[in-house]
Amino acid sequence: MDYAGRISKLASKLDDEGILAALITAPENIHYLTGAPFVRGSAGKLLLVWKEGHATLILTELDYEEAKDSVAGGLELIKTNLFERPLERLRSILPSSSKVGYEEGAMSAAMNDRIGANYVLVPLGGAIEKMREIKDKEEISMIEKAQSINDQAFEKALANFREGMTELEIAAELEYMIRRYGGEAYAFETIVASGPRGVYPHGMPSNRRPSGGESVVIDFGAKYGGYCSDMTRTVFFGEPKPELRKMYEAVRDAQEAAIEEVSIGVTGKELDDVARRVIGDHGYGKYFVHGLGHGVGIDIHEAPTVSASNPNPLSPGNVITIEPGVYVPGVGGVRIEDLLVVTEGGRRNLTKFSREIVVV
């Protein structure tokens, strides 16, 4: 990955604004800029990117060996000892009263208060998130591989789905295959929501056993090379009831219509409008209770969002999901999600699995 290029791009922005260094606290952004691994929810690493174009990573002994073996050359590593926090070490290397960029969305109010006492803090305004919106070839190939793990795992797992299984057992089969095909982690907590639970868009798998034509929303993702994938299919355990079939067709038509429109220059809002109109025409408008999609990369949810709140045009290298859904209380849920790259030619769909109705 082009860590040096990323660091120098950020550094030149700092230089323009007279900022001595940017203090990076979001683990995902530290990973993006250096290759340093992180575990979800991890804290404790601090990255300084200096306006001159070099960078310093302050980390604990616990993380040192893995970081040392993972980061690109040229990065300075400072290892704190067990009785010292990275934040304390910061003071000894960053002159007080200097102008320091900070991540206002990733730094807690408490840390902000503490650091603000010593430095002139300047918000970075999502500068790194902005860079991350446009994926380069190497990043896209990681996401593509992560999505191919999803496709293969789903196909294999589906062959093992049987009426009488619980949602937990469905998750077990699927996740087993994700690991077997090389998923180094799950991109997020697998969702399996059947029957009336299908109206929980984030429903965790339970002991419920779908049957009698109920829908089962299965939303899952693998990580590969530090990058996420994201895919949803809704399958039926038994021949679907007419209402569920109508919902499925509404969602599938909406997804296909929106995917057709993905191209450079179209906005997130416009895509969301397309899908919402189709679902509305099918009579399910009020049951489409979330945005159409989101960007995917190191984070499972990152910019650009594909919803009414995004008036900005898409660019080549954006990687986004298109995932309309319909959730009717008492009936169930249907969601179908593909993962796409925005390209010069329009789009490339990384999801290969069919969106035809599948009956287990």
**Based on CB atoms, which residue is closest to a copy of itself, 61 or 239?**
61
Instruction: Give Dmax (Cα) for the chain.
Output: 68
Q: Does 300 interact with a copy of itself (rule: CB under 8 A)?
A: yes
Token pair 């984030």: residue: 202
- The Cα 53–Cα 130 span in angstroms is 19
Binding-site member from 35, 201, 225, 346 for a copy of itself (CB under 8 A): 201
Q: What b-and-e string marks burial along 202-218, b requiring 16 or more CB atoms within 10 Å of the CB? A: ebebeebbbeebbbbbb
Q: Does 78 interact with a copy of itself (rule: CB under 8 A)?
A: no
Give the three-class secondary structure for 131: helix
Q: Does 304 interact with a copy of itself (rule: CB under 8 A)?
A: no
**Based on CB atoms, which residue is closest to a copy of itself, 7 or 295?**
295
Q: Does 101 interact with a copy of itself (rule: CB under 8 A)?
A: no
Binding-site member from 133, 139, 151, 175 for a copy of itself (CB under 8 A): 175
Burial of 191 (0-12, 13-18, 19+ CB in 10 A): buried
Do 35 and 29 touch, CB atoms closer than 8 A? no
The footprint of a copy of itself on residues 23-62 (CB under 8 A) is 37, 39-42, 60-62
Q: Does 268 interact with a copy of itself (rule: CB under 8 A)?
A: no
Smallest separation, CB 42 to a copy of itself (Å): 7
The footprint of a copy of itself on residues 280-299 (CB under 8 A) is 289-291
- The Cα 50–Cα 54 span in angstroms is 6
- The Cα 339–Cα 341 span in angstroms is 7
Report the interface residues with a copy of itself, using CB under 8 A.
Answer: 37, 39-42, 60-66, 69, 82-83, 102, 104-113, 123, 168-169, 171-172, 175-176, 179-180, 182-186, 188-190, 199-207, 289-291, 300-301, 307-309, 327, 329
